[in-house]
Structure 1
Amino acid sequence: MHRDYFVSSLIRIADPLLTALSKNELKKKMPVEAKTNDRQNFTYLEAFGRLLAGMAPWLELGPDSSTEGKLRKKYIELSISCIRNATDPAVPDYMNFYKGGQALVDAAFLSQALLRAPNQLWGRLDAKTKKNVLEALKSSRVITPGHSNWLFFSAMVEAALLQFEGSCDKMRVDYAVSQHLQWYKGDGAYGDGASFHWDYYNSFVIQPMFLEVLQTLITSGQNENKTYELELNRARRYAAVQERLISPEGTYPPIGRSLAYRFGAFQLLSKMALMHQLPNEILPQQVRCALFEVVKRQLETPGTFDKEGWLTIGLVGHQPGVGEPYISTGSLYLCSQVFLVLGLPATDPYWQNADADWTAKKAWKGEPIPIDHAIEN
């Protein structure tokens, strides 16, 4: 039940976008809800890069003869058409990768998608499209990232170039890693820059990209194992905190900026489950049941989608006031990152084990729960 609901929910979010882009009709059909007038420059790559990053692990399972496997086949083929159109300068839905700072952000999310599905996405592209993708990613280098989580956007683009072309601007990668190591605040949390921000950016961006950049470096033969193990330990702690933030009712604290990314706030918890790296005291099925309640509660609230099936700005339903000036319709597709767990096959214990209550649900029923404690490094 939980897996079927996650698959149908991901498709509900993805289908209008991928169908339109595959036909070169995204710019014509996607609404642009925003507070400022410049978001048309960025919103289409935002929507596509973010959506695909969340879908990629599921797509990477590949097609098979099952009902779900046939769905994957359909959406793999749609995604390939979309990548072709998004990076071809000669077609209407060609996207902006280099004008204005925001373009770097979503070049990074597209890079993340390709790294997460190297066989089913990158591996299925024709030679011309591969060349267009690499040129599009390189064009984002004209953008200087802010001294914040943005350093990982540059690093993510370079990681993709390293993986798929064999070389990159190593300084951009090394700087992102070294700065974030300096910005660590303790107990599994990094600052967003030198300051600590009480929001969900450790999950939206910092820790997933940190792990994936380091993994790419290790795959390329570089000795980053010690840093990777350090960051993995911190990510597991942050995931433990995230699991405890989910209330018995499937809600979570509305703190910090970018709340319109909705359940994308739990990307890191989903990623740790995908990697089989949840803390020992957290059962995979606890996370499954908790994330199901979070997604269902937000997704089924009236107003989450417009009448054409596009996401609207809000945390719970349509709440335009939740959107910062940088938020537009495309931004909202970061919510897809909660679906990373669909990269686990249906036979995995995450999906097969009997339902279990998550920590807060057990606690508020008066049941035994593990003691919580900080990590030292």
Structure 2
Amino acid sequence: MTDPAPGRTDLAPITGWTRERWAALADRMLLAVRPFASPHRARVVLPGGPGGLGSDVDALEGFARTFLLAGFRLAGERGADPLDLAGWYAEGLAAGTDPASPERWLRPDEHGQAKVEAASIALVLDLTRPWLWDRLDDRVRQQVVDYLATVVGDDGYADNNWVWFRIVVEQFLRSVGGPWSLEDMERDLARHEDFVRADGWYSDGPQRSYDHYAGWAMHLYPVLWSRMTGARALAAQREGAYAERLDRFLQDAVHLVGADGSPLVQGRSLVYRFAAAAPFWVGALAEVPSTSPGLLRRAASGVLGHFTARGVPDERGLLTLGWHHEWPAMAQFYSGPGSPYWASKGMLGLALPADHPAWTAVEEPLPVETGDRLLLVRAPGWAVSATRADGVVRVHNHGTDHASEGDETGDSPLYARLGHSTATAPLLDAAGWADPLDQSVVLLDAAGRATHRSGFRTLEARLVDGADRAEGADRAETDGGRAAVLASRARAHWLDPDESAPQHGAGRPGVAHVAGTVTTVSVVRGAWEARLVRVEDAAPGAVSLRVGGWPVSGTVVSTVGEHAVRVDGTLSTLVPVTPGLVPDVARADDATPLGPRTATPVVTSPVQVGAWCVVVVGLHGQGAVEDEGARDDVPEPPHATVQDGEVTVRWPDGARTRAALPSS
């Protein structure tokens, strides 16, 4: 698909994405799905095999999720409608909610996924009320009410962002005189509060489930709901807290976008792609005080532009199951051919009129574009290190696993890895789920089976300055010599997985067998991490320790020196410091959505209980090597030593970090 109207402008000097360009892309996407609609437009059956929830769900998602985008277009244009979006979707509403129609939709009381899609339908009907709902005839309006009313009193909602789906549906029903339940809404609003975490973050459920859902769901729905017709009575005492949390969350979120616009490749439902732009538009809608409209739009346009520059949508104008291209292995069990159109959330900005500050402000650069950055994100237990030279954002993870402390499930590569970034993707093939390798510290049995770390305990996460003093601030520019120190301790376990369990993105359940206790410490600055590992105790079957570095994917793989591998310009380095570590490079084909070949440096050694094992891990994108004193095309690594319970790291620029190590 040709990218519409490229080119820089006065308002979009960085990305070139003006409102007109956004709108042109949205219209092409909406027109591209029309040939796949049923005769009366209720079912949009996009190409591809059926998803795990069945063809009826796929068809409903195809309607409801593109309806979101159509609604944003109608609202932002104040009803101007040259594509007859209102008429096209009104016909679909009439057929989909008609119990006698062969195109009728599954109702929310018939299938759980219909609860999700009903929320999109209700949001858009409210958002476009003058141009769509008010023009439906009485029969169709009653059909819609009857369809949506099946959510009232239904407690069959997942215990996560799904609490919002009943809230927004019942809010719409209330506004049109339909049935609704104050008890339902108050209970769901209260449950949302249970997911509030530090610094404006939300967990998507009771576990340590930190991912893009924090932005494209947990922050999106409160703001949109509070602006729905008739919501004021319930929202008035809540929207201030929603806005404050969003404001604080966005101060972190803008640091998680790479200079090339890539969102963090972490968490489930990544097939929604540029839905990752949604929280930036929500911030603009809520007029958050701490992040300017120009920066919010730069982040959103960067995310969208990242995908359009890499062939998304495809040559047909369609969104497929994948990332830069169709890659079905990225889908979860619940994903079908219509699912990727939740990407529509990332185009929420089109609901804002052309004279809104989000569109009239001049783009401002992302944090990674103005300097090296280092910050702690307390809720998910991350240190975020971004480097201006290559525009890469790295997350060093000692707090997120989509599990609870003490659980003994399998590791999800989407959550439990020690590192995620905007330039790499975790190994997502069968081996990546069964035997953690990339960005992992594992014990191996004699057959080479790797342990999992889900259920680990976070020990610390702090910033230290060059004089070894703990800093009170949670963010910094790295040129002051400051570093992040994180630590966690895992009850490492082998897993006999339950292969029958649906794959929803979390680690697999199964029968665990304890292999030992492993403490891991990360000292982070710039592109480098000094990683220290100590096996506190080990079962007799644990014979080896393996430490994996960053996985890099692409087409051309080459080893660089003894301890690094380069794939299409991105360099992954893993330098053994402790004697006796044996380096290697693990290769995999078609294991990530970023390229056909992936290489991951690893080191192994026999298990030595009680001793610190030290390695240095690096990730450098294109353009970074020449800025770090490269020798033989490999940047000079830091030096790490352990003595008297402390680690000292001397960085390539001469700065030094000292930190106490956890006791056993």
TM interval, shorter chain, is 0.7 to 0.9
Question: Is the 2:204–2:210 contact (alpha carbons within 8 Å) kept by the matching residues of 1?
Answer: no
Of 346, 351, 358, 2:359 maps to 351
Displacement of 1:144: 1.0
Residue aligning to 1:193: 205
Structure 2 letter corresponding to 1:299: T
How far the C-alpha of 1:308 sits from its partner, in A, is 4.3
Larger displacement relative to structure 2 (131-140 or 15-24): 15-24
Letter in 1 for 2:57: F
Structure-1 residue corresponding to 2:573: none
User: 1:13-40 CA deviation, whole Å, 9 max, x = no partner?
Assistant: 222335654742565852244553x421
**Is the 1:298–1:317 contact (alpha carbons within 8 Å) kept by the matching residues of 2?**
no
Pairing of 1:324-343 with structure 2 (within 5 A): 324-343=332-351
CA-based RMSD: 2.7
Cα distance in structure 1, aligned partners of 2:194 and 2:94: 39
Please say if residues 39 and 326 of structure 1, whose CA atoms lie closer than 8 Å, have aligned partners that are also in contact.
no
Quote the Cα distance in structure 2 between the aligned partners of 1:214 and 1:289: 26
Query: Among 18, 30, 47, which residue is 2:62 paired with?
Result: 47
Give the Cα–Cα distance (whole angstroms) in 1 for the partners of residues 158 and 18 of structure 2: 39
Which residue of structure 1 aligns with residue 25 of structure 2?
Answer: 9
Aligned to 2:626: none
More helix by share: 1
Query: What is the deviation of 1:163?
Result: 1.7
Q: Secondary structure at the match of 2:197?
A: strand
Residue identity opposite 1:207 in structure 2: H
Q: Relative to 1, partners in 2 of residues 1:95 and 1:271: Cα closer, same or farther, differing over 3 Å?
A: same
3-state DSSP of counterpart to 1:187: helix
> 1:214·1:228 contact (CA, 8 Å) conserved in 2?
yes
Distance 1:152 1:27, change over 3 A: closer
State how far apart, in whole Å, the 2-side matches of 1:146 and 1:13 are: 30
Change in Cα spacing, 1:354 to 1:221, as seen in structure 2 (3 Å) is: closer
Match of 1:299 in 2: 308
Question: Of the candidates 75, 89, 92, which is equivalent to residue 82 of structure 1?
Answer: 92
1:54/1:176 Cα in 2 relative to 1: closer, same or farther (>3 Å)? farther
Partner of 2:127: 116
* 1:184 partner SS: coil
CA contact (8 A) 1:32 1:43 kept: no
User: How many Å separate the matches in 1 of 2:474 and 2:18?
Assistant: 28
2:173 to 148, 151, 161: 161
Contact 1:47 1:331 in 2 (8 A): yes
For structure 1, which runs of at least 5 residues remain unmatched after alignment? none
Give the C-alpha shift of residue 229 in structure 1.
Answer: 0.5
C-alpha contact 1:159 1:216 (8 A) present in aligned 2: yes
Partner of 1:270: 281
Report 1:88-107 matches (<5 A): 88-98=98-108, 99-107=110-118
Q: Which residue of 1 aligns with 2:466?
A: none
User: For 1:301 and 1:78, how far apart are their aligned partners in 2?
Assistant: 30
Q: Is the 8 A contact 1:154 1:173 kept in 2?
A: yes
Q: Does 1:150 align with 2:169?
A: no
Query: Using the alignment, how far apart are the partners of 1:214 and 1:292 within structure 2?
Result: 25
The alpha-carbon distance between structure 1 residues 239 and 93, as it changes in their structure 2 partners (threshold 3 A), is: farther
Identical columns (%): 22
Query: For residues 28 and 346 of structure 1, do their structure 2 counterparts lie closer, same or farther at Cα, with a shift above 3 Å needed?
Result: closer
Q: For the Cα contact (< 8 Å) 2:46–2:62, is it kept in 1?
A: no
Q: Deviations over 1:313-366 (max 9, x none)?
A: 012221111100101111111001111111222223322333322222222559
- State whether residues 3 and 346 of structure 1, in contact with CA within 8 Å, keep that contact through their aligned partners in structure 2: yes
Distance across 1 between alignment mates of 2:346 and 2:303:
10
1:242 aligns with 2:253: yes
Are 2:56 and 1:24 aligned? no
Q: Residue in 1 aligned with 2:146? A: 135
Aligned partners of 1:42 and 1:96 also within 8 Å: yes
Q: Which amino acid aligns with 1:5?
A: R
Q: Is the 8 A contact 1:60 1:121 kept in 2?
A: no
Letter in 1 for 2:288: L
Is 1:314 the equivalent of 2:322?
A: yes
- What secondary structure is seen at the aligned counterpart in 2 of 1:226? coil
Query: Structure 1 pair 19/130, CA: closer, same or farther in 2 (3 Å)?
Result: farther
Is the counterpart of residue 222 in structure 1 residue 233 in structure 2?
A: yes
2:277–2:299 CA contact under 8 A, matched in 1: no
Residue 60 in structure 1 maps to residue 68 in structure 2: no
Shift in Å at residue 185 of structure 1? 1.3
* C-alpha distance in 2 between matches for 1:239 and 1:266: 11
Separation (CA, whole Å) in 2 of partners of 1:211 and 1:3: 22
Hey, which of these two has a bigger chunk of strand by percent? 2
Distance 1:225 1:29 in 2: 40
Residue 4 (structure 1) shift: 1.7
* Aligned AA (1:8): A
1:242–1:118: structure 2 CA closer, same or farther, 3 Å change rule?
A: farther
For 1:7, the aligned partner's letter is A
Query: If you compute each CA radius of gyration, which structure gives the higher value, 1 or 2?
Result: 2
Separation (CA, whole Å) in 1 of partners of 2:350 and 2:44:
31
Residues 28 and 202 from structure 1, CA distance in 2 versus in 1: closer, same or farther, beyond 3 angstroms?
A: closer
The residue type equivalent to 2:114 in the other structure is: A
Distance in 2, matches of 1:62 and 1:128, equals 28
What is the TM-score of this pair, normalised by structure 1?
Answer: 0.85
- Cα deviation for residue 296 of structure 1 reads 2.1
Answer 1 or 2: higher relative contact order, Cα 8 Å, separation at least 6.
1
- Counterparts of 1:352 and 1:28, CA distance in 2: 35
1:49-96: per-residue Cα shift (whole Å, max 9, x none)? Answer: 2222244233124467xxxx453x622332322322322234343211
For residue 229 of structure 1, what is the amino acid of its counterpart? Answer: G
Structure 1 residue matching 2:237: 3-state secondary structure: helix
Cα distance change, pair 238–34 in 1 and its aligned pair in 2 (3 A) = farther
1:214, 1:25 → 2: CA distance? 30
Cα distance in 2 for residues equivalent to 1:349 and 1:147: 36
State the 1:273 CA deviation: 1.3
Paired position in structure 1 for 2:625: none
Moved over 6 A (4+): none
Cα distance in 2 for residues equivalent to 1:138 and 1:329: 27
Work out the CA distance in 2 between the residues paired with 1:292 and 1:121.
29
CA shift, 1:135, in A, is 0.9
1:203 matched to 2:218: no
1:20–1:29 contact (8 Å) kept in structure 2: yes
Cα distance change on mapping 1:34 and 1:301 into 2, 3 Å: farther
How many angstroms apart in 2 are the aligned matches of 1:253 and 1:220? 34
Residue type matched to 1:291 in 2? A
Aligned to 2:594: none
| SS of aligned partner of 2:233 | coil
Find 1:178's aligned residue among 175, 180, 190: 190
